[in-house]
Copies of this chain bind each other. A is one copy, B any other.
Amino acid sequence: MDKTLLLQSYDLKATPQRLEIVGALYVQGHLNIDTLYSELKNKFPSISLSTIYKNINTMIDKGFLSELKIPSEKNLYELIKEEHSHVICTQCKKVTDIHLNISSLLQEARNISKYKFQKSSIILNGTCPECF
């Protein structure tokens, strides 16, 4: 993935801090502010939390980052790729992407509610194989 190109394609300057944010999210999938902050601290000891917040917000505004709100957990941030759902282990709190076919679910919801659906946020809570 060309991080510089990604940023520039959204009219954002490819600063070292932003490259690192995008890189961390690309490699690790979902990160909360604190984790992101400590990751970045390693490379830029003088980075400030507000830089991270500002960048996350602009990336969300630009439309290539999304915020994931999880009941009783801190918000996570992830680069937007294809639509997908999330599973969370109740024990170890690990968050994983899962690609579910939700077309029949949406169909059913459309029949019942008469809404026109644009987006869905599906989070499944369970116990992962390692935590059984």
Instruction: Using CB atoms and an 8 Å cutoff, list the residues of chain A in contact with chain B.
Output: 66-72, 85, 87, 89-90, 96, 98-102, 104-106, 108-109, 112-129, 132
Contact = CB atoms under 8 A, between A and B. Distances in A.
Contact of A115 (B66, B109, B129): B129
B108 A101 contact: yes
Contact of A113 (B87, B108, B112, B114): B87
Contacts of A85: 109
A120 B125 contact: yes
Contact of A121 (B99, B102, B122, B132): B122
Nearest to A115: B126
Contact of A109 (B72, B118, B124): B124
